[in-house]
C-alpha cells in the first residue's frame, strides 16, 4: 500500500463504525480453515483407500453410476502412503472434521446465522439474476445481503454434502455394528458410492469457491483470516464485480 | 518433485528480500504463506504424512478403539437379507507358499488347544467340536480389495466353547494361532464373546476345504477379514494384546466392523 492510498483511506468521508466491523465471527474463520485442512487430508487419504479397489460394483459386475470403474486415482492425489497408513489418517482426521463441523453448525444455529446461508423463497430468481450478471446479460450487480443467491446455494449444498459424507462414512466404517445405517443408504456398495459422490461434489464446490474468491472477491481471504472487510469498498456489490472485472476497491466518495 | 523445489526456491527469495529490506510487508507475508502452504500440499502428495504425527495417529487409533468397543456393546447381529452364497467364488487367502494342509502322518491328529488365562485348559479333537451344539449364519463379506462374497458358516459359537474352559478374570484378549506359517491375530474378549463369533467347521453346508482354512477357522462378522485366523490350532487367552500377522505390519489392531 502506498502512502497516497493510505491517506486517501483515512480521510475518506463516511468512514463510519461499520467500516471496521469484522465480516466473520472468529469461530467461523477458525472452523473455515480447519475444515479446509481436514477435508484435504480426508479426501487424500480417502482416495488412497479407494485405490485399494477403485470400483463400486462387486467384482465381475457392472455399476451404472460410475463411468470409471476399476480406474485408480493418480497416486499424487492421494495421501497416507499405503492402505493401512491412509486408514490411520482417515479415522483420526474424521474426529477433527466432525468436531469442527459441529462447532460451526452450532454457531450457525445459536447465532441464527444460518439465515445468511439458507436459500429461501425468491432465491432461485435471485440466483438467475446473479447468473445473468456474471454472464454479462445484466449491467448492475443485484442487491444482496451478506452473500449472493449463488453463494447461498453453493455454501448450503456444501454443508449438506458434508453431512452426507459423514453419515455415509460412518455407515461403511461400521457396517455391522451400525448395519441399519448402511441398509438405509441402499446397502454397503451404495453407501460407498454416496460417500464418494458427496466427496466429489464437495471437491467440485471447493474448486469453484476458490476460483471465485480469486476472480471476484480476493478481499474475502483477509475477511476469512483476520476478519477485516469494508463492505463499502470491497464487497463485489459495491465494486459491481463479475469474474476478473472491477477487482480494485470501490471509491467510497462515489457512493456518498 | 521439481515444482516443489521451485516453490521452495521462490520462498527463499522472498525471505532474502525481507531480510535485505528489514521488513516483511503484507504482500511478502501473503506470498510467503501461499508458497509455504503450496509446498506443504505438494510435498504431501502420495506421502504417508509427517513422522511426528505418528503419536497423534496412534492416540486416535486408541480412542477409536474405545468408541468401537462401546458401539459393539449393542451386539447388533450382521444383516444378511436375501443373498446367495458365492460358493467356490469365495476368495481364498493364506500366507504360506501353497495351501496349508494339516499333515496327519507327520503331526498326528489335528486338535484345538484352548489355554492361557483359563481355569481348565482343554484340548479338543475334531470330533469333540463336532459333538457340540452348532450354529449357522449367512454373512456377506465386502473386501477393501474389491470382492464381495456371501457364505454360510457353520461352527461352534466361541462363547459356548469358552464356557467349557472357564476364562479367568484377566482373560482380556484371545490370541488365535494357526499352522499357516505362524499366522495369528489377537482379539479383544468382547468381540471374541460376540454371539456371532464362531470356530467354523463348515462353509456352505460342507466341511471346510483346505482353501478356506480346514479343518477349523475363526469367523466373526464383527472383525475385518485379516482378524479371522484360518487353519486354527490354538486359542490362548491372555491379559494384554499380542498383535497379529497384519497388525505387526502396520494395520490397525482392533479391526472392528
Question: Each residue of A17-34: pLDDT tens digit?
Answer: 444 578 999 999 999 999
Cα–Cα distance, A167 to A159 (Å, whole number):
12
- State pLDDT tens for residues B130-172: 999 999 998 888 888 778 888 999 999 999 999 999 999 999 9
Residue B10 has pLDDT above 90, yes or no: no
B191: nearest CA partner in chain A = A177
**B251 and A87: CB-CB below 8 Å?**
yes
Buried b (16+ CB within 10 A) or exposed e, B86-104: beeebeeebeeeeebebee
Dist CA A62 CA A50 (whole Å):
17
Per residue, the 3-state secondary structure of chain B, as one string, reads CHHHHHHHHHHHHHHHHHHHHCCCCHHHHHHHHHHHHHHHHHHHCCCCCCHHHHHHHHHHHHHHHHHHHHHHCCCCCCCCCCCCCCHHHCCCCCCCCCCCCCCHHHHCCCEEEEEECECCCEEEEHHHHHCCCCEEEEEEEECCCCCEEEEEEEEEEHHHHHHCCCECCCCCEEEEEECCCCCEEEEEHHHHCCCCCEEEEEECCEECCHHHCCCCEEECCCECHHHCCCCEEEEEEECCCCCECCHHHCCCCCCEC
Q: In this structure, are residues B206 and B217 in contact, taking their beta carbons and an 8 Å threshold? A: no
Q: Confidence band (pLDDT; 50, 70, 90) for B76?
A: low
Please, which pLDDT band fits residue B73 given cuts at 50, 70 and 90? confident
CB of A52 within 8 A of CB of A85? no
**Distance of residue A152 Cα from the nearest chain B Cα, in angstroms:** 27
Report the chain A residue with the minimal C-alpha distance to residue B25.
A1
pLDDT means per 10 residues in chain A (256 residues)? 39 44 90 96 96 83 84 92 93 96 96 92 93 94 92 96 97 90 90 95 97 94 90 91 90 62
Query: Which of B39-53, B79-93, B118-132 shows the lowest mean pLDDT across its residues?
Result: B79-93
The pLDDT assigned to B90 comes to 86
Tell me what pLDDT residue A253 has: 67
Q: Are the beta carbons of A147 and A209 closer than 8 angstroms? A: no
SS (H, E, C) A203-251: HHHHHHHHHHHHHCCCHHHHHHHCCECCHHHHCHHHHCCCCCCCCCCCC
**Contact A174/B68, CB-based, under 8 Å?**
yes
Chain A interface includes B37 (CB < 8 A): no
- pLDDT of A3 reads 40
- The reported pLDDT for the residue numbered A216 is 94
pLDDT score at B114? 96
Chain A hits for B147, CB-CB cut-off 8 Å, are 58-59
Q: What is the pLDDT of residue B78?
A: 61
pLDDT at B248 over 80: yes
Decide if B48 and A189 are in contact by the 8 Å CB cutoff: no
Between CA B23 and CA B17 the distance in angstroms is 9
Mean pLDDT calculated for residue range B53-70: 90
**Do residue A59 and residue B250 have CB atoms under 8 angstroms apart?**
no
pLDDT in the model for residue B86 = 83
Does the distance separating the beta carbons of B145 and A189 come in below 8 Å?
no
C-alpha cell at A34: 480447519
pTM here is 0.84
Q: What is the arrangement of strands in the sheet containing B173-178, beginning at the earlier edge strand?
A: B122-125, B111-116, B232-238, B173-178, B184-188
Give A116→chain B minimum CA distance, Å: 29
* Distance of alpha carbon A123 from alpha carbon A201, whole angstroms: 21
Q: What pLDDT digit, counting tens, does each position of B169-203 carry?
A: 999 999 999 999 999 999 999 999 999 999 999 99
Give the pLDDT score at B198.
96
- As a whole number of angstroms, the distance between CA A219 and CA A101 comes to 24
Amino acid at each position: 500500500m502506498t502512502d497516497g492510498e493510505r491517506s486517501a483511506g483515512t480521510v475518506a468521508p463516511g468512514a463510519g463504525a461499520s467500516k471496521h466491523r469484522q465480516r466473520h465471527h472468529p469461530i467461523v474463520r477458525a472452523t473455515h480453515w480447519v475444515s479446509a485442512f481436514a477435508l484435504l487430508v480426508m479426501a487424500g487419504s480417502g482416495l488412497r483407500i479407494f485405490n485399494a479397489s477403485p470400483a463400486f460394483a462387486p467384482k465381475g459386475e457392472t455399476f451404472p453410476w460410475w463411468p470409471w470403474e476399476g480406474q485408480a486415482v493418480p497416486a499424487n492425489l492421494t495421501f497416507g502412503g499405503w492402505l493401512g497408513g491412509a486408514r490411520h489418517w482417515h479415522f483420526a482426521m474424521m474426529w477433527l472434521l466432525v468436531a469442527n463441523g459441529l462447532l460451526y453448525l452450532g454457531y450457525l444455529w445459536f447465532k441464527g446465522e444460518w439465515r445468511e446461508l439458507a436459500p429461501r423463497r425468491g432465491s432461485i430468481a435471485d440466483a438467475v439474476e446473479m447468473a445473468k450478471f456474471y454472464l454479462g446479460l445484466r449491467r448492475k450487480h443485484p442487491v444482496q445481503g451478506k452473500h449472493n443467491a449463488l453463494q447461498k446455494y453453493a455454501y448450503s449444498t456444501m454443508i449438506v454434502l458434508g453431512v452426507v459424507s459423514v453419515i455415509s462414512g460412518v455407515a461403511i466404517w461400521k457396517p455391522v455394528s451400525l448395519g441399519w445405517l448402511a441398509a438405509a443408504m441402499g446397502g454397503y456398495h451404495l453407501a460407498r458410492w454416496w460417500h464418494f459422490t458427496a466427496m466429489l461434489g464437495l471437491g467440485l464446490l471447493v474448486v469453484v469457491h476458490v476460483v471465485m474468491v480469486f476472480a471476484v472477491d480476493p478481499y474475502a481471504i483477509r475477511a476469512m483470516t483476520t476478519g477485516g472487510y469494508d463492505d463499502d469498498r470491497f464487497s463485489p456489490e459495491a465494486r459491481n464485480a463479475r469474474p476478473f472485472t472491477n477487482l480494485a476497491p470501490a471509491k467510497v466518495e462515489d457512493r456518498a | 518433485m521439481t515444482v516443489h523445489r521451485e516453490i521452495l526456491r521462490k520462498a527463499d527469495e522472498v525471505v532474502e528480500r525481507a531480510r535485505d529490506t528489514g521488513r516483511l510487508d503484507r504482500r511478502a507475508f501473503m506470498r510467503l504463506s501461499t508458497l509455504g502452504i503450496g509446498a506443504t500440499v505438494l510435498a504431501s502428495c502420495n506421502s504417508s504424512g509427517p513422522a511426528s504425527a505418528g503419536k497423534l495417529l496412534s492416540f486416535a487409533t486408541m480412542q477409536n478403539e474405545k468408541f468401537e468397543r462401546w458401539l459393539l456393546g449393542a451386539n447388533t447381529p450382521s444383516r444378511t437379507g436375501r443373498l446367495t452364497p458365492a460358493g467356490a467364488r469365495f476368495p481364498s487367502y493364506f500366507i504360506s507358499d501353497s495351501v496349508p494342509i494339516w499333515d496327519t502322518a507327520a503331526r498326528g491328529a489335528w486338535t484345538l488347544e484352548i489355554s492361557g488365562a483359563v481355569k481348565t485348559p482343554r484340548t479338543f479333537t475334531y470330533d469333540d467340536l463336532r459333538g457340540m451344539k452348532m450354529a449357522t449364519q449367512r454373512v456377506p463379506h465386502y473386501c477393501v480389495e474389491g470382492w464381495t462374497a456371501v457364505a454360510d458358516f457353520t461352527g461352534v459359537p466361541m462363547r459356548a466353547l469358552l464356557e467349557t474352559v472357564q476364562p479367568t478374570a484377566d482373560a482380556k484378549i484371545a490370541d488365535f494361532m494357526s499352522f499357516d506359517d505362524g499366522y495369528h491375530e489377537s482379539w479383544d474378549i468382547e468381540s471374541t464373546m460376540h454371539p456371532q463369533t464362531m470356530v467354523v467347521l463348515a462353509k456352505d453346508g460342507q466341511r471346510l476345504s483346505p482353501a478356506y482354512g480346514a479343518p477349523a477357522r475363526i469367523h466373526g462378522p464383527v472383525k475385518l477379514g485379516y482378524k479371522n485366523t484360518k487353519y486354527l490350532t490354538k486359542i490362548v487367552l491372555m491379559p494384554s494384546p499380542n498383535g497379529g500377522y497384519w497388525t505387526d505390519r502396520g494395520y490397525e489392531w482392533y479391526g472392528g466392523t
